[in-house]
Amino acid sequence: MQPGTLFLIPVPLADAAAAKSHTPYLVDTINAVKEYIVENEKTARRFLKEAGLKTPQSELLIHDYGKHNRDAGLKEFFTGLMAGNDVGLMSEAGCPGIADPGADIVAEAHRKGIKVVPLVGPSSILLALMASGFNGQSFTFHGYIPIDKLERAKKIKEMEVLAEKKQTQIFIETPFRNDSMLEDVLKHSKPQTRLCIACDITASTEFIKTLTIADWKKQVPDLRKRPAIFLLFHA
């Protein structure tokens, strides 16, 4: 039997941003798919409703791929796919597989010869890069950098060296530690290095600004509890 297709379905980055986040093809796809692998079932069901799902949600089969359900292996997630059913993979926010544990599902799908189809949708990393004015042809996403102050300072200086070589450096922090992160970036970066802060992307409170480190020190923003992307570059 021919396996089904694994559709990678992006979800909104912010509340009330569904209209900015999906395409007609995505809507058609979710109304054809009856089985999903998701990081958060509550979030996934809400998005499907906002996106225009016509299928009664009681008819959906939803596998929870949250952090407490990953140690049991991946076999149960592929039963439907191997039986020929199309399945949707959804992240907690943004694009599956990008800074997201769903990459393990995608890798296993390739090992099993399952067709993988990525759908268009919002990636906070790429949206921040687009809006930064930095080099979009050479960039590195570091994910979370060290929490330890000494290790973090070392990492910031390493990224700055790469930024001086015209490679954009992209990194993130959990929202409740954003202010501490920004404090360290401002402390350990050179005054002329450029920093872009992209916060609350696609939300009504969206804030995206690029300044030198010297200029940021004059107007430090409050980033507490706000999802943010940080980018370093040296023009």
Q: Are residues 107 and 184 in the same domain?
A: no
DSSP code for 24: H
Residue that terminates a domain, selected from 86, 118, 150: 118
Q: Are residues 79 and 10 in the same domain?
A: yes
Q: Are residues 225 and 135 in the same domain?
A: yes
Report pTM: 0.92
Q: Can you say whether residue 95 is alpha, beta or left, with left for phi > 0 and alpha for psi between -120 and 50 degrees?
A: beta
> Apex CA 51: angle with CA 38 and CA 97, to 5°?
35
Say if residue 132 is exposed, middle or buried (CB neighbours under 10 Å; 0-12, 13-18, 19+). Answer: buried
The CATH number that applies at residue 73 is: 3.40.1010.10
What average pLDDT does range 161-176 have in this prediction? Answer: 96
Q: Are residues 94 and 128 in the same domain?
A: no
Q: Are residues 13 and 108 in the same domain?
A: yes
Contacts 24+ apart (CB under 8 A), 155-163: 156/184, 156/185, 156/188, 156/189, 157/188, 159/232, 160/188, 160/189, 160/190, 160/193, 160/232, 160/234, 163/193, 163/232, 163/233, 163/234
Give the model confidence (pLDDT) of 46-94 as tens digits. Answer: 999 999 999 999 999 999 887 666 666 788 899 999 999 999 999 988 8
Q: Are residues 56 and 158 in the same domain?
A: no
Q: Note down the domain range covering 224.
A: 124-233
What's the confidence (pLDDT) of residue 192? 97
Q: Are residues 94 and 71 in the same domain?
A: yes
Q: State whether residue 125 is helix, strand or coil.
A: helix
Q: Are residues 98 and 166 in the same domain?
A: no
Which residues sit opposite 169 in a β-bridge? Answer: 140, 232
Confidence bin at 8 (pLDDT 50/70/90): very high
Q: Are residues 213 and 162 in the same domain?
A: yes
Q: Are residues 73 and 147 in the same domain?
A: no
Give the model confidence (pLDDT) of 113-147 as tens digits. Answer: 999 999 999 999 999 999 999 999 999 999 999 99
Q: Are residues 137 and 51 in the same domain?
A: no
User: CA 86 from chain center: how many Å?
Assistant: 23
Residue that terminates a domain, selected from 76, 100, 118: 118
Q: Are residues 138 and 212 in the same domain?
A: yes
Q: Which residues contact 94 (CB under 8 A, 6 or more apart)?
A: 10, 11, 13, 100, 121, 122, 123, 124
Please count the structural domains in the chain: 2
Q: Show the DSSP H helices in 57-209 as ranges.
A: 79-82, 103-111, 124-132, 149-164, 178-188
Residue that terminates a domain, selected from 118, 134, 155: 118
What's the confidence (pLDDT) of residue 169? 98
Neighbours of 146 (CB within 10 A): 13
The CATH number that applies at residue 160 is: 3.30.950.10
